[in-house]
Chain A
């Protein structure tokens, strides 16, 4: 067993882990942050996506030990109290989910892609960027719509803030 320490959703956390402990396992079982989902065992579905040092990664494909000293954001870290993150609000508004299982990973992937592309996101780019996130209910249509709406809204507010 070894001790890891990282910042998760703004709080410093410490835990005992094995060498083989996956980051997804540490978040869910060690910290009780069960919003990060596990949808496969082949690193393909994206339900487990979190941000490590600001970048979207599959938490099932990273050892917890590798995240020692890193800053991690999970789906639980997006809302500000009762106020949903714009991407969360857009998923609700545009019905970007049915069963909800893929939603945490979808939203973390969406926040990351909006940060990288800003307001320039078009539908084709969104679909390409979602290649690592699998949804078995929606046919992606409303997910894409929600991300586009959130990207437009967020780039609008960014532009206003910058003025």
Chain B
């Protein structure tokens, strides 16, 4: 790892101040992506600004018909939250499937979505649930937030402070993990809302990262059953193909994961 200057921020404002005007500085949250990347010398920030001790960035609260999950909340805390398990079981289950227990003890929801790895789990949950990403500057709808491979709508010095997730009538996530890394080879999140509308998002498979599947959404809105999506295949030409699986293989996995998610919801 290259040398770096460590700063511990006591507040979001202090962190923003440390980032301002220094495009070689990076936010450090759980470090479960940034530190491995720095160890590989794929990232070499001159400064890291540690936000993981900011108390105001941690916690899960129900507010009206939505949950506000602060950006620094660990995967293990989302997985174990009694309210989320009852109201948005798909999201709690998703968090419990990320990596391994040690990764879940450190990694945060804010870090995961800011990173927008094409094989990460949270982006599928945020997109399918129609979440709002709250930053220190503004609010961004999930539909606008995830902008491609490792790309988001965030500006250089913008900090995710929370996500606001509407409570759906039903939700579930089904993931086919890469057996070595545990990241998704394909993961599908399905959510059905009180007004009857449905949102479906897939991760792990898209060449541009997480994406919605409108054909499945309309099929499920009129018939909420695994059979409704069994015949719907996504076009393999827009999917990732690598040593772990071809684009055609991933296209098939997406349909299988969608069926399983609907069956589990």
Let me know if A123 is at the binding interface, CB within 8 A.
no
What residues on B are CB-neighbors of A2 within 8 Å? 6
Measuring CB to CB, which residues of chain B are less than 8 angstroms from any residue of chain A? Answer: 1-6, 8, 28, 31-32, 35-36, 38-40, 48, 50, 52, 76, 99-103, 105-106, 180-182
Q: Which of A112-158 contact B (CB under 8 A)?
A: 112-113, 129, 131-133
**B181 contacts A44, C-beta separation under 8 Å:** yes
What residues on A are CB-neighbors of B100 within 8 Å? 46, 131-133
Measuring CB to CB, which residues of chain A are less than 8 angstroms from any residue of chain B? Answer: 2, 18-20, 22, 41-44, 46, 49, 55-58, 60-63, 65-66, 68, 109, 112-113, 129, 131-133
**B102 contacts A19, C-beta separation under 8 Å:** no
A56/B182 contact (C-beta < 8 A), A20-B38, A46-B100 known: no
What residues on A are CB-neighbors of B103 within 8 Å? 43, 58, 61, 132
A18/B3 contact (C-beta < 8 A), A63-B31, A63-B35 known: yes
What residues on A are CB-neighbors of B8 within 8 Å? 65-66, 68
A20/B4 contact (C-beta < 8 A), A43-B36, A61-B32 known: yes
What residues on A are CB-neighbors of B36 within 8 Å? 42-43, 61
Taking CB as reference atom, which chain A residue is nearest B179?
A131
> Lowest 10 A-B CB distances belong to which pairs?
A132-B100, A19-B6, A131-B100, A65-B6, A43-B36, A55-B105, A20-B1, A19-B4, A132-B102, A58-B102
A-side interface mostly: mixed
What residues on A are CB-neighbors of B181 within 8 Å? 44
Taking CB as reference atom, which chain B residue is nearest A58?
B102
Which residue of the partner chain, among B35, B40, B48, contacts A62 with CB atoms under 8 Å?
B35
What residues on B are CB-neighbors of A60 within 8 Å? 39
A sample of 11 inter-chain contacts (CB < 8 A) reads A18-B3, A20-B1, A20-B6, A43-B32, A43-B39, A55-B105, A56-B105, A61-B106, A66-B28, A68-B8, A132-B101
How far is B102's CA from A44's CA once the two chains are assembled, in angstroms? 10
How far is B100's CA from A109's CA once the two chains are assembled, in angstroms? 10
Q: In angstroms, how far is the closest chain B Cβ from the Cβ of A102?
A: 13
